[in-house]
Amino acid sequence: MKEYFALIFTGGKSLIVGMMITLRELFRPVVTVQYPREKLPISPNYRGHTILIRDDEKPLKHRCISCKMCERECPSNCIDLAGEKREGVKGMVLIKYRLDFTKCSLCGTCVEICPTDALDFSNEYQHVGFSREDFHYDLLAMVEEEEK
C-alpha cells in the first residue's frame, strides 16, 4: 500500500519537474534560423561541388592541363573532360569539363590527385533544378564566366 502512494508523489513530482523545464524553455530565445531570410555563414572548408580554380597568371585562366587523372580516379566516374592539341601552345588545352554532380559522392579524390592543384571545392550548397541535367555542371564555362 505504501508504494501505491509513494508512486503518486514521486510520479507527480517528476511530472511537475518536467513541466517546469519546458516552461523555462518556452521563454528562452529561439534557436532555429529562418532559412530563406537569415542564412548561416558557411565554413570555408565546406565541400560543395568541385570547381576549377581561377588563376589569372595562366593564359587559360585555370591550371588544368587535361591529364585526365581525376577522370580515371573518380570512384563514381562522374567527370568527363576533353582536351585538344593546339599548335603554338605547349601541352593540351582543355575544351570540355563536365561534372555530373548527381553521382558525385564528394570524396575529394579528384581534388587530391590533381597534379597541378587545379580543382577545389566550392561553397555552393543550394542546388535547385527541375531535371537531372541541371546538375551536370560545366566547370570550364564557370571559370570563364568568372572574369566578366
Partner 1 sequence: MSAVMNTGFLPPELLRIIFAVVCAIVIVFGNAVVMGYLERKLAGRFQRRPGPMEVGFHGILQLAVDGVKLVGKQLIVPKQTDKVLYRLAPIISFAPAIMPLVVIPFSPKLQGRDFDVGLIFILAVVAINVLAILIAGWSSNNKYSLLGAMRSVAQNVAYEIPMLLTLLSVILVTGTFSLRGIVEAQSGGAWFIFLMPVAFLIFFAATLAETNRAPFDLPEAESELTAGFMTEFSGMGFSLFFMAEYTYMFIACSLTVILFLGGWSGPPLPYGEYTSALWFFAKVYALLLTMIWIRWTFPRVRFDQLLNFCWKYLVPFSLVHLLVTAVVLKL
Partner 2 sequence: MTTRAEKGEQRYVLNMGPQHPSTHGVLRVILEMEGEYVMDPQPVLGYGHRMHEKMAECRSWPNFLPNAARMDYLAALIYNHGYVGVVERLAGIEATPRAEYIRVITSELNRLQSHLLWLGVLVLDLGAFTPIMYTFEDREKILDILEDVTGSRLTYCYMRVGGVVRDIDDKFVERTREYIKWQRSRMPMYDKLVTGNIIFRKRIEQIGEFSPDMARRYGLTGPVLRGTGIPYDIRRAEPYSVYPEFDFEIPTETSGDCMAAYLVRVREIEQSLRILEQALDKLPDGPFMAKVPKKLKLPAGDACYTVESPRGELVYHLIGDGSDTPYRMKIRVPSFSNLSLLPELCSGMLLSDLCACMGSLDLVIPEIDR
Which residues of the shown chain bind partner 1 in the complex (CB under 8 A)? 8, 15, 18-19, 21-23, 25-26, 28-32, 34
Selection from partner 2, partner 1, none that 135 binds (CB < 5 to 8 A by kind) is none
Cell numbers at residue 12, please?
Answer: 507527480
Stretch that binds partner 2, among 60-68, 86-94, 101-109, 132-140 (CB under 8 A): 101-109
Give the residue with the Cβ less far from partner 2, 25 or 133. 25
Selection from partner 2, partner 1, none that 113 binds (CB < 5 to 8 A by kind) is partner 2
Residues 117-136 that bind partner 2 (CB under 8 A): 121
Give the residue with the Cβ less far from partner 1, 11 or 91. 11
CB of residue 15 to partner 2, shortest distance in Å: 6
**SS3 of the chain:** CHHHHHHHHHHHHHHHHHHHHHHHHHCCCCCCCCCCCCCCCCCCCCCCCEEECECCCCCCCECCCCCCHHHHHCCCCCEEEEEEECCCCCCEEEEEEEEECCCCCCCCHHHHHCCCCCEEECCCCCCCCCCHHHHEEEHHHHHHHHCC
Query: b/e for 9-21, b at 16 or more Cβ within 10 A?
Result: eeeeeeeeeeeee
Q: Does 95 bind partner 2 (CB under 8 A)?
A: no
Q: Does 34 bind partner 2 (CB under 8 A)?
A: no
- Which residues in this chain contact partner 2 in the complex, by CB under 8 A? 7, 10-11, 14-15, 17-18, 21-22, 25, 31, 43, 45-47, 73, 75, 105-109, 112-113, 121
